[in-house]
Amino acid sequence: MTQLPASTTTIAIVGCGGLGVPAAWTLALAGATQLILIDDDVVEVSNLHRQILYDTAVVGQPKPLALAAALQARVPNLDIQVRQGCLTADTLGDLLAGCEAVVEGSDDATSKFLVNDWAVAHPRRRYASIAAAIGRRGQWMTVSPESACYRCLFEEPPPPAHLATCQVAGVIGPVVGQVGALAARSLWSVLNGQADMAHGALVRLSPRGLLRTPVQIAGDCRCGRGAPC
Ligand SMILES: [Zn+2]
């Protein structure tokens, strides 16, 4: 199979917050020409330390609109679509219509599995970088039709009661900045047919550095691409 040409791939950013902002900026500067920005949230003052393309002038504005304006000011020729909404099983078809690759940077674990399943189960070639960060730690994994998927490793979203949130646990601005940018870079590399440390592997960023864990396609994964155990 041939790779998608990265510069003409329509890439969606799911979650225009601490991870999505640097991811979108990275892709825009790398040469992406078509981005779809998805979020249902508005910019708050408490976001500004880590969502670095926003300032006090856009507090209260929908995040995808504010991010589109910030990106357009820096990369005028970028084709940007704004889609306000929360990614669910019911909204996925509409929100991801027309896109071929996704950076998932929302704070919703279910959304990460929905994007994973969209990428690996789609009849056409689809790609996704799935990122998360909390406190001083972050992680991302890039999936493609050839690679292990997020479910091969995690199987199901954890119960909501088991999840810490940025509101409760806090998050360090540079951590989400790094993870968002690296997740975007990994997606860009894979779209260009280049090797990348996160392709089919979970990469964790901690105060000790980067730890890469390769993931095998699981025989019992719902993605259905492994040999039965
Ligand atoms: Zn799988």
Give me the CATH topology for the region 6-214: Rossmann fold (3.40.50)
**Can you give the pLDDT at residue 89?**
96
Is 79 or 158 the better-scoring residue by pLDDT?
Answer: 79
**Can you give the pLDDT at residue 155?**
84
**Can you give the pLDDT at residue 164?**
61
* Residue of 16, 99, 149, 166 marked catalytic: 166
166 counts as catalytic: yes
Is pLDDT at 167 greater than 60 in this prediction? no
**Protein residues with C-beta less than 5 angstroms from the ion ligand 1:** 149, 151-152, 221, 223
Domains of the chain, residue spans: 6-214
Whether residue 204 contacts residue 214, with contact meaning beta carbons closer than 8 Å, is answered with: no
pTM for the full predicted model? 0.92
If one counts every other C-beta atom within 10 angstroms of the C-beta of residue 3, the result is 14
Compute the distance between CA of residue 82 and CA of residue 40 in angstroms, rounded to an integer: 10
Going across the sheet that includes 34-39, the strands are 79-84, 34-39, 10-14, 101-104, 127-134, 137-143, 201-206, 209-214
3-state secondary structure of 192: coil
Compute the distance between CA of residue 171 and CA of residue 112 in angstroms, rounded to an integer: 19
- The pLDDT mean for the chain works out to 91
- Kindly give the distance from the C-alpha atom of residue 220 to the centroid of ligand 1, in angstroms, as a whole number: 8
Residue 6 identity (one-letter amino acid):
A
